[in-house]
Amino acid sequence: MARLFGFSIENSEPVSPTVVSPVPPNNEDGVDHYLTSGFFGSYVDIEGVYRTEYDLIKRYREMALHPECDSAIEDVVNEAIVSDTDDSPITIELSNLSASDGIKNKIRKEFKYILELLDFDKKSHEIYRNWYIDGRLYYHKVIDLKRPELGIQEMRYIDSLKMRYVRQAKKTDNDKYKLSNRNVDNPMDYEFPEIEEYFIYNPKMTYPTGTPAPGALGGSSSGIKMSKDSITYCTSGLVDRNKGSTLSYLHKAIKSLNQLRMIEDSLVIYRLSRAPERRIFYIDVGNLPKVKAEQYLRDVMNRYRNKQVYDSATGEIRDDKKFMAMLEDFWLPRREGGRGTEITTLPGGQNLGEITDIEYFKKKLFRSLNVPTSRMDGEGGFNLGRSSEILRDEVKFSKFVARLRKRFSVMFSDMLKTQLILKNIITPEDWEIMNEHIQYDFLYDNHFAELKNAELLNERLAMVATAEPYVGKYFSQDYVRRNILRQTDIEIIEQDNLIKKEIENGIIPDPNQPIDPATGMPMDSTSQMDLGQPVMEPDLKGDEQIVSPRQKAMEMPKGGEI
């Protein structure tokens, strides 16, 4: 077998032999190893499938040049990638990862190094836009093959028109692909052919369509075979199941954009042809024969067809008999018995100002790209509004952008996996466990996010103030914190601990501490107001004291009669 260019990362733990399935391993990006007849058809029908992908990529790029389509694409890209002067567009989130602080710090350091290799802070908009338009993204992870422990040295972008991902079934001894049962006792245990996965790179601007023959580094006239792990391959996730090809998010807008172009072009032609009023010359030809009548009509046309042409370069006006106007007059012969020679005018079109059909197809284009139609015209300002005033289209658009971000982060996961394994920070087995708990936090628009959060907080605090008289009667404190302030269990515990700590440090007063009515300041628990016993005057008759009725009432025990 030919040697692949690049490197390969393999799992040291083999799959258990008892883990069986009758379904062969496949890929969800449209690349499969059986494309023709039979359960394991030979890998031949790639000319039509991948030539179609080549044409689709070129069509997607042509669509992106259209102004309306470009405006919708910019809305998606600007919503997904926020370029801030202070912060990075993306950060790694490891709060859900069960690992030591040392491992987390190393992961953050390597992720920052990957962003520096990509120059993502400066080129994030272009990288995301290329991925969104083409529907796929290729990067070559360049390493030092003699010293792989140094990690990735360079990330080189590869044009989508020059790469092809291949999953090829290896041939058996009898040169056939068979679906054979290995274990008679287990009907689910099948033997599948071994799958070889690699990329074909063609430096020329032609899409590689053939399988390269064995040669130096797997190279041939049709391209260079590169190992799977040496390439970062990120797709849109959209697949045409009928043709087995990867699609872009622009695929749904192909028909809408073509219709919009056709309507715009036809409207221009209609307006140029129907806008001006035209003259109609009815020429009386009498009883002349057909040939002479046509000659007479032609002579009259040439006689009155002299055009006054203004030359803007010299400022002169001249007669140009050879001048051909785009909007010609109508010359019609009329036989004897009519009204004779007559000149009339043909009115222009009356509905030239209607552009309802153009607006319809423009909205259809934006809907096909999942962009709200309210963003089509930039005349309306940004209105925060209340939660009830948020359009459903904006909610759907925010969820769509969140899905795009999730899919785009696959690129960072692949690069981070290679970097961590090459530097011996983790093993391939560890990555399978850690990958699900590594999240990527994209930056949101700070200005609008802060305004929206401030408005939501004001609304919640106003609701708390309204419900405060009913706390303890109809609502509990826990209900107010969970349902009105929308605090989670973790936030409630954290806030309680912080409040307790700040009370102990004297930062905030204790709400249960009594208040001095004179000063309005909290009093210490040791220096509370103690009125003591009432002052008793000594009795003149020895040790007896005179007790007033008021004092008796104060000393009356509980449960006494009134």
pLDDT tens profile 342-376: 778 777 777 777 788 889 999 999 999 999 888 77
Separation CA 90–CA 416 (nearest Å): 14
Q: What is the mean pLDDT of residues 512-538?
A: 62
pLDDT of residue 533: 58
How far is 498 from 492, CA to CA, in rounded Å?
10
When pLDDT is cut at 50, 70 and 90, the band that residue 112 belongs to is: very high
The Cα–Cα gap between 118 and 137 comes to 13
Q: How many CB atoms lie within 10 A of CB 526?
A: 5
Q: How far apart are CA 222 and CA 208, in angstroms?
A: 6
Rounded to an integer, the average pLDDT of 192-221 is 64
Q: How confident is the model at residue 285 (pLDDT cuts 50, 70, 90)?
A: confident
Phi then psi for 198, rounded to 5 degrees?
A: -160, 170
Q: Which helix (H) or strand (E) holds 303?
A: helix 290-303
Q: What average pLDDT does the segment 406-421 reach?
A: 93
Provide the pLDDT confidence category of residue 85 given band limits of 50, 70 and 90. Answer: low
pLDDT at 446 over 80: no
pTM of the full structure: 0.68
490 or 512, greater pLDDT:
490
Contacts 24+ apart (CB under 8 A), 14-21: 20/183, 20/186, 20/188, 20/189, 20/190, 21/188, 21/190
Closest CA to 110 of 426, 433, 428: 426
Average of per-residue pLDDT values in the chain: 76
Instruction: Please report, as a single letter, which amino acid is at residue 523.
Output: M
**Of 99, 138, 8, 152, which Cα lies nearest the Cα of 438?**
99
Question: 53-61 contacts: CB < 8 A, separation 24 or more?
Answer: 53/207, 53/245, 53/246, 54/161, 54/207, 56/245, 56/247, 56/248, 56/251, 57/134, 57/135, 57/160, 57/161, 57/248, 58/161, 59/254, 60/133, 60/134, 60/135, 60/248, 60/250, 60/251, 61/133, 61/134
- How confident is the model at residue 281, as a pLDDT? 82
